[in-house]
Structure 1
Amino acid sequence: MADHYTLRLAPGMRQRLIEWARRAGLAERTLAQRYVEEGLRHDAHPLIQFLDGPSGRRASLVGRGLDVWESVATVRDNDGSIARAAEYLQVPAGLVEAAVAYYGEYRDEIDREIELNEAEYERGRASAAAGERDDLAGRSDRSILEAASSEQRAVVTNNIKGFRPLASEWLAQGRIHGGLIFLPSSRTRTRSAVPALVAAIEGVLREHPDGLNGCERWIGPLSSP
């Protein structure tokens, strides 16, 4: 049974609440309840903040953009070692400890997020693996571009220095390559990297249903879902 609580708001606070509820597309009362709940959680766990994203509202580490579920999953992958998880995530161990402490209080919630994101991770990894070619392993950039273009396929790479000069060379010769999709030179090392990468590539391909022949497209820095 829900508890009822009457609260007198300071002048102007009600109008601000109404405005933020409108922006969030939420009922005023729903947003007020969220503020109270998240405020209480943050007071108990000061290094945890709450952010909106494609997967909904989620708990994350202050100032890092890492979700709590990512940190907890990484600890599990490192046999429970907070130190190794922190080294892998490139964050202070204290932040990983904060994520684990939060998990201890909201275990079911974080376990659901891990389960959902594990499924998305596997889907993304399978999609990425489908594009790998054993027969091209170890071959030169020129050979890869030749092979991909002969099959009317785009090359997805972060080797900008290698492929851009080749693309310019082809252009000068009047040749049309199958397309180039350039990735960020550095990407997040968390589990969210693979599905985020696949989603970004799929977005480029949706924008070009007839292919990328002769075109270059750049994918910006990837962020956590």
Structure 2
Amino acid sequence: MGSVVKSIRIDKKTLSEVESLLHTKKETFSSLTSELIAEAVKMRKCPGIVFVDGPAGRRARIEGTGIDVWELISAYEEFNNDLSALKEAFHWLTDRQIMAANGYAKAYPDEIERFIKMNRGWSKEKAHTELPFVRKKG
């Protein structure tokens, strides 16, 4: 996706907070600010979704849970799009949380599909190669 140069005014406190985030990441001010704005737009469009860091990068997560949106959508697909089966399997999730994840997946299908494909690409052999410390001993 291409980028566009825009000039914006940021209050000093926000600028200071963004700059403090730069100390924990190896990004430029421009790339971090762009990521923050993109995530803020997504969270405003899809209430109930937050973003977290992980080995696969930043991911959309259902607020108040440890479940990434792609994980719930993948499970839904595994249940042949049976909402009742999904609700039974994830009985602790509220309807609002499930709707938030579904709404996000509909708004950003390419992103969710990319994470699902990445996860399905793991095999026992690939795990042993890339994560040798997870092998069973003996």
CA offsets per residue over residues 106-144 of structure 1, 9 Å max, x none? 111111110110122x438x98xxxxxxxxxxxxxxxxx
SS of the aligned residue for 1:23 comes to coil
Equivalences, count: 133
Partner of 1:92: 94
SS of the aligned residue for 1:112 comes to helix
Q: Report the AA paired with residue 99 of structure 2.
A: E
Q: Report the AA paired with residue 70 of structure 1.
A: E
Partner of 1:17: 18
Unmatched segments (≥5 aa) in structure 1: 128-198, 206-210, 212-225
Q: Report which of the two structures shows the higher radius of gyration computed on alpha carbons.
A: 1
Partner of 1:35: 36
Partner of 2:77: 76
Q: 1:203 to 1:20 in 2, by over 3 A?
A: farther
CA distance in 2, matches of 1:201, 1:87: 34
Q: Using structure 2 for the length normalisation, give the TM-score.
A: 0.83
Partner of 1:64: 65
Question: After TM superposition, what 4+ stretches of structure 1 lie above 4 angstroms from structure 2?
Answer: none
Partner of 1:119: 121
CA distance in 2, matches of 1:17, 1:204: 43
Displacement of 1:94 in angstroms is 2.6
CA distance in 2, matches of 1:34, 1:66: 21
Percent identity over paired residues: 24
Q: Using structure 1 for the length normalisation, give the TM-score.
A: 0.53
Partner of 1:107: 109
Checking the alignment, whether the CA contact within 8 Å between 1:60 and 1:68 is kept in structure 2 is: yes
CA distance in 1, matches of 2:16, 2:59: 26
Displacement of 1:200 in angstroms is 9.6
